[in-house]
Amino acid sequence: MNIAATPLIILIATAALALVPALVGPVRFRRDAPPALALLGLAAAGVMSVLLWGDRRATFYEAFRVDRLTVLLTLVFVVSGILTVLLSLREPAGVDRRPEYYCLLLCAVAGMTLVAGAADLIGMFLGIEILSVALYVLCALEVWRERSLESGLKYLIVGAVGSALLLYGLTFLFGVTGTTSLADIALRVDARDLGGESLLLGAMVLIIAGLGFKAGAAPFHMWAPDVYEGAPTPITTFMATAVKAAALAAFLRIFGAALIDVIDDWKTPIAVIAALAIVVGNVGGLMQSSFKRLLAYSSIAQAGYLLIGVATGTLDGATAVLFYIIAYTAMTVGAFAVMVIREREVEDGQSIAALAGLGRSNPIVAAVATICLLSLAGFPPLAGFIGKFMLFGAAADADLVWLAVVGAVGSVISLGYYLRPIYAMWAEDSRPEHARSLDPGAPVLFVVLMSGLGVLAMTGGAHWVTEVCRAAAESLIAP
């Protein structure tokens, strides 16, 4: 048997297995087994992916290809999944509906893996649907909370629209080229010189819109703040990091590889969407009083930064995207984990005001949050800065200097809101109503520390991470 699919199989198998302990065994077993199984499955999938690093392998009738890009992104998904599990351990939704929760989470990771390794339009769409359906349910899993239900419903409706647009676009693409294989599409687009072909243009517009919905890039972002706010915070973390990475993977697979020969047709639209996302996300973030919504807007802007790299259509651009995805995952998880801590410690923990005085009561957590937020804002020499620098460099090299300028101005605006939580943490005194404290639990603190260390490691070891990202990006265009 071809071993290329092993991570995928492990994930699906563990997902099914995680449902079983709910039915049998003593109470403790029912309580602890599903998350333990999930962690085990994710870790095993991660290890298997690392072992697959190297040459390209294909499986499922060439619909799923495991190359370096797939491996790298699978690792991002797996790590993001593990951190989400750790954040979820005491989360109400995770406690109440333990088996479904972890089953769905693993399904989502499996779907993402499928997207990252898609070599075929159908495989890609399948992956996107698997992850979306799992997340519709996960968002709404705190059924006793209206906001959670609202979040799930909104995500379902908007996500369905996005999926429909994407599917429509993919069928157009099939109509023009007569094949669903991404590699064959690249060959035929090149051979038939399809640049400017109107059906292909329509296909690209629809695909950009569909994937734009999934990535949460403006103008397809309007669902993001509400959905992110209503969903259980660990799920929001997962959506903000892994789902975005999966959508970007799809962008890279379709535009960075299959349609690279008609770059002149899609370069400007994607650049415009990137610019819009940067502006909308950063300006929208300025007016938020909720930390969670603030991070939601931040993630819209970050999607814009990631799209800069896609818009360049170069190897440097793809490398920068991958680097930034990894850095972004670390810093966003850190920021959300701090919020999980505050949610458990105080009431109204999602507001920026709840962070007041954290610098004194818990300096380590506050320091990690500060590092993560500064990194998100692109403060040198942190990982986020290095990523942005690489993205801007790729943009300048691809004659998109204006986009780099928009990105830079957006970063300035973003400081307006990234500095507010930092200011609250260090300069404001904690309020008396925020005084009482529940123990947030060791796993969450572990996540906080790991993400802080992750950002610092990516800052110090940027060179090596870039090498890995470059190798992954090269596999994108390798035959």
Partner 1 sequence: MPWLTILLALPIVGGLVLMLQPRLSAGAARGIACLVAPATFGVACGLLFGFHPNRGPQRQERHDWISSVGLEWTLRLDGISLALVMLTALIFMITVCALVVKFLPERNPAVYLGLILVAEGALMGLWLAGNLLLFYVFWELMLVPFYFLIGVWGAEGRRQAVTRFVIYTMFGSLIMLVGIVATGVFAQRVTGQFTLDIEALRGVVFTEDQSRWLFAAFALAFAIKLPLFPFHGWLPGAYGTAPIAVTVLLAAVMSKAGAYGFMRIGLPVFPDGAAFWQNTLIVMAVVGIIYGSVVAWRAPTMRLVVAYSSLAHLGFVAIGIMAIDPQAAQGAVLQMVNHGLVVAAAFAVVGLLARRSGREGVDDLGGLADGAPWLAGVFLMVTMASLAIPGSNSWAGEFFILVGAFRHSAWAVILASLGTVYASVYMLRLYQRTMNGPRGATPGKAVEMGGADWAMLAPLVAVMGVIALWPHGVLRATEHSVERVVAPAQQALNRPASEIKAAVPANPPETSLPLPGDPLPQPTSPTPNTGATP
Residue 405 binds partner 1 (CB under 8 A): yes
CB 352 → partner 1: shortest distance, Å?
14
Tokens of 144: 């006793």
When the beta carbons of 303 and 465 are compared against partner 1, the nearer one is: 465
Nearest to 77 by CA among 158, 1, 121, 135: 135
- x-marked contacts with partner 1 along 213-242 as a string, rule CB under 8 A: ------------------------------
**What 3-state DSSP class applies to 318?**
helix
Measured in degrees and rounded to the nearest 5, phi and psi for residue 290 equal -95, 130
| CA–CA dist 166, 204 (Å, integer) | 9
When the beta carbons of 17 and 390 are compared against partner 1, the nearer one is: 390
Residue 409 binds partner 1 (CB under 8 A): yes
| Stretch touching partner 1 by CB under 8 A, among 39-47, 57-65, 207-215, 409-417 | 409-417
| CA–CA dist 401, 384 (Å, integer) | 19
Task: Report 349-368 residues binding partner 1 (CB under 8 A).
Answer: 360, 363
462 in the Ramachandran plot: left (φ > 0), alpha (ψ -120 to 50) or beta?
alpha
Are the beta carbons of 34 and 136 closer than 8 angstroms?
no
When the beta carbons of 114 and 469 are compared against partner 1, the nearer one is: 469
Are the beta carbons of 270 and 208 closer than 8 angstroms?
yes
| CA–CA dist 269, 311 (Å, integer) | 8
Q: Which of 237, 290, 466, 475 binds partner 1 (CB under 8 A)?
A: 466
When the beta carbons of 174 and 379 are compared against partner 1, the nearer one is: 379
Amino acid identity of residue 419, one-letter, is L
Are the beta carbons of 146 and 228 closer than 8 angstroms?
no
| Stretch touching partner 1 by CB under 8 A, among 101-109, 326-334, 341-349, 384-392 | 384-392
Q: Which of 157, 164, 191, 408 binds partner 1 (CB under 8 A)?
A: 408
| Stretch touching partner 1 by CB under 8 A, among 10-18, 22-30, 140-148, 392-400 | 392-400
Q: Which of 381, 438, 442, 478 binds partner 1 (CB under 8 A)?
A: 381
Q: Which of 426, 441, 446, 474 binds partner 1 (CB under 8 A)?
A: 426
Residue 404 binds partner 1 (CB under 8 A): yes
| CA–CA dist 161, 163 (Å, integer) | 5
Measured in degrees and rounded to the nearest 5, phi and psi for residue 30 equal -60, -35
User: H or E element: which one contains 58?
Assistant: strand 57-59
Residue 411 binds partner 1 (CB under 8 A): yes
Q: Which of 176, 346, 462, 468 binds partner 1 (CB under 8 A)?
A: 462
Q: Which of 92, 202, 269, 393 binds partner 1 (CB under 8 A)?
A: 393
Q: Which of 72, 114, 326, 386 binds partner 1 (CB under 8 A)?
A: 386
| Stretch touching partner 1 by CB under 8 A, among 144-152, 305-313, 333-341, 461-469 | 461-469
Q: How far is CA 30 from CA 88, 232, 348, 385, in A?
A: 16, 22, 31, 44
When the beta carbons of 16 and 401 are compared against partner 1, the nearer one is: 401
Residue with tokens 């990234």: 418
A 10 A CB-CB count for 13 gives 15
Sign of CA dihedral 139, 143, 147, 152: positive
Nearest to 372 by CA among 468, 240, 470: 240
CB 222 → partner 1: shortest distance, Å?
27
Tokens of 430: 């904690």
When the beta carbons of 207 and 377 are compared against partner 1, the nearer one is: 377
When the beta carbons of 207 and 390 are compared against partner 1, the nearer one is: 390
Q: Which of 412, 435, 438, 478 binds partner 1 (CB under 8 A)?
A: 412
| CA–CA dist 420, 436 (Å, integer) | 23
Binding site for partner 1 (CB under 8 A): 360, 363, 378-381, 386, 389-390, 392-393, 396-397, 401, 404-405, 407-409, 411-412, 415-416, 419, 423, 426-427, 462-463, 466-467
